[in-house]
Structure formats: structure tokens, C-alpha cells
Structure 1
Amino acid sequence: MMPFSAILVVIVLLVIVLLHLLWAAGSHWPAVDEKTLAKTVVGSAGIQKMPSRLASLIVAVVLAGAAHVVLAYAGLMPGFMLFRMYRILLVAMILVFSFRGLAAYIPQWRAMTPEQPFARLDQTRYGPLCIVIAALLLDVALT
């Protein structure tokens, strides 16, 4: 049976995939316009527009791949025979989400991403969410 942490992290990752697919399709949701969305989800200094639609699509594909790794590691997707490779990918994902989560509190990252409301959301939502994802992935790895 698949651990609850695996189910939860796959759902979270797929919701984030859906958001990036919406942005890749040109949507500005949940913001009212592109500039507001860019200042909300990217936050780099002086940002006026979202990164390219291709960039959003690439992020969506990478995160969908991460969800696949979790499902495969839990034995629910083809490729279970590649267990060692999935374990390595899972550890890499834990490190990436941990570092991204902690970055929200590093002054150098704050200097690179000062725009509001991103800076506030990064410390109250995005960073903590990344740390939670890393913890869920760690639970998957240890289960």
C-alpha cells in the first residue's frame, strides 16, 4: 500500500503542475494581470512580466516527472525495476526542495527576489511549502 505521504506529495506536486500549465497557456490566474502575477510568483527585482510560457511548461514537466518518481518509487508506476535510480532521484528531490525552502530565509535570495508580494509569500507560503514537500519526500524515501 502506498504511504499517505506519497499520496499527499503527489497531489501537491500535481496542483503545482496544473498552475504552471495554466501559466504556460497564458493565464494570469490567480492574479488580475501578468505584471501582478510575475510580482507574486517570481519576484525578481524589477520584474514586469512572467518568464516565457516555455519556461512554465518546462517547470510543469519537471514537476510531473517528480510526481512520477514518487509513484514509481512507491511501486505504482512502470519502472519499479529501476528502483535504485528512483531512490537517487528521490534523494536529489529532497535536497532541491530543502534548499529551495531554506533559500526563502537567506539574505542573498531576498536581495535577488525583493518584489512584493513574492518576498512575503516566499517566507510565509512558498518556502514552508518546499520544506513540507521535502519532508514528505523524506518520509516516502524512508517508508
Structure 2
Amino acid sequence: MMPFSAILVVILLLAIALLHLLWAMGSHWPAADEATLAKTVVGSKGIKKMPPRLASLMVALVLTGAAHVVMAYAGLMQGFLLFQMYRILLVAMILVFSFRGLVAYVPQWRAMVPEQPFARFDQTRYGPLCILIAALLLDVALT
């Protein structure tokens, strides 16, 4: 039986990938315009435009690949790598999402990405979401 955490983390990863795909196609959703979206999801000092669309597309592809790793590791689908490779990738994903979640509370990071509403969302939504994803991935790894 497949763990609920695997299903939940795959849904989260694919939902976030879909958002990045929309941005790669030029959408500003859920913001009204590009400047507001950039200040909401990137937060770099003085940002007025989103990063290149290719960057959003690459993030969407990486997140889709991460969902594939979870599905293959949890037995939701047939993988094309050796099982040990999926385990290594899963551990790497746990580390990356843990780091990203925790860095939201580091002063040096805050100085790099001070724009609002990103700075507030980073500590109240993005950071906690990354920590949740890391915890779900850890549950998948241990199940």
C-alpha cells in the first residue's frame, strides 16, 4: 500500500510545477501584473520583472521530475532508474527542501530578498511549505 504522504507530496509538487509552467507561458496569476508577481514570488531587492521564462520552465521540469522520483520510489509507477538511485535522489530532495524551508528565517537571506510581500510570505507560507514537503518526503523515505 502506498503511503498517503507520497500522494500528498506528489500533488503539492505537481501543483507548484503547474504554477511555474503558467509563469513560463507568461501568466501573472495570481498577481495583477508582472511587477507584483515578481515582488510576490521572487522578492529580490528592487525587482520589477520576473526572471526569464526559461527559468520558470526549468523549475517546473525539476519539480515534475521530483514528483516522478516520489512516485517511482513509493511504487506508484515504474521507474527507469535503479531503486538505489531513487533513494539517493529522495535524500537529496529532503535536504534541498529542508534547506530552502529553514533559510527563510536566516537574516542574510532576508537581506537578499527583502521585497514585500515575498519577505512575509517566505516566512509564513513558502518556508513552512518547503519544510512540510521535506517532512512528507522523509515519511516516504522511511515508509
TM-score (norm 2): 0.98
Calculate percent identity across the aligned residue pairs.
Answer: 85
Indicate whether 1:54 and 2:54 are aligned: yes
Q: Show CA shifts across 1:25-67 (max 9, x none).
A: 0000000000000000000111010001100000000000000
1:114 CA displacement: 0.1
Unaligned runs of 5+ in 1: none
The one-letter code sitting in structure 1 at the alignment partner of 2:13 is: L
**In structure 2, C-alpha distance between the alignment counterparts of 1:112 and 1:142, rounded to whole Å:** 35
Unaligned runs of 5+ in 2: none
Question: Structure 1 pair 63/81, CA: closer, same or farther in 2 (3 Å)?
Answer: closer
SS across alignment from 1:9: helix
Letter in 2 for 1:119: A
Output the CA distance in 2 between the equivalents of 1:81 and 1:75.
Answer: 13
Query: Shift in Å at residue 82 of structure 1?
Result: 1.1
Q: Partner of 1:27: helix, strand, or coil?
A: coil
RMSD between aligned residues: 0.9
The 1-side partners of 2:2 and 2:56 are apart by 30
Aligned counterpart, 1:126: 126
- Match for residue 101 of structure 1? 101
1:35 aligns with 2:41: no
Match of 1:17 in 2: 17
In the other structure, the counterpart of 1:142 is: 142
Runs (4+) of structure 1 moved beyond 6 Å? none
Tell me by how many angstroms 1:78 deviates. 2.0
- What amino acid sits opposite 2:46 in the alignment? G
Counterpart-to-counterpart distance in 1, 2:75 and 2:102 = 30
Distance in 2 (alpha carbons) for counterparts of 1:16 and 1:46: 25
Alignment partners' CA distance in 2, 1:93 and 1:121: 22
Q: 1:73–1:80: 8 Å Cα contact kept in structure 2?
A: no
State the Cα distance separating 1:80 from its structure 2 match: 6.6
